[in-house]
Structure 1
Amino acid sequence: MGEILITANGEEHSLPEGAAIADLLERLGLSPKGIAVAVDGVVSPRGEWDQPLRPGAAVEILTAVPGG
């Protein structure tokens, strides 16, 4: 398997081909609790976080911050 390049919150990351949002979050050390993810400007439902990311995908990861 090869590698793919994606952009997450403006930073390039190299992931194994077939990697999904869940894999990216794990690599970044982020817990999925309190997180929303958009891929190429479209919010990705948590149930789809196991779908492979495409090369060049632009991922935005947002975390909830308590206390407004």
Structure 2
Amino acid sequence: MGLDDLINKGKDAFEQNKDKISEALRSEQAEGISDKVLDGAAGFAKKIAPDSVDEKIDNLRDKADGHIGNE
């Protein structure tokens, strides 16, 4: 089985389960996990980046959060 076969099987699996995947990404559990991950990533980025980009980091964090979870 080649890489193309694996990719096609992955695409097929996604198509068959995209409603379930979408539902899972919009769940309360996904919201809690994503908040922790995004907060951690934003906090790390703020530590290593200049203070002048903190607002941009927060905006990116909020935008990403809007795509995952239920809030």
Question: Which TM-score band (shorter chain)?
Answer: under 0.3
- Mark the structure with the bigger radius of gyration: 2
Identify the structure with the greater helix proportion: 2
Identify the structure with the greater strand proportion: 1
TM norm structure 2: 0.24
TM norm structure 1: 0.25
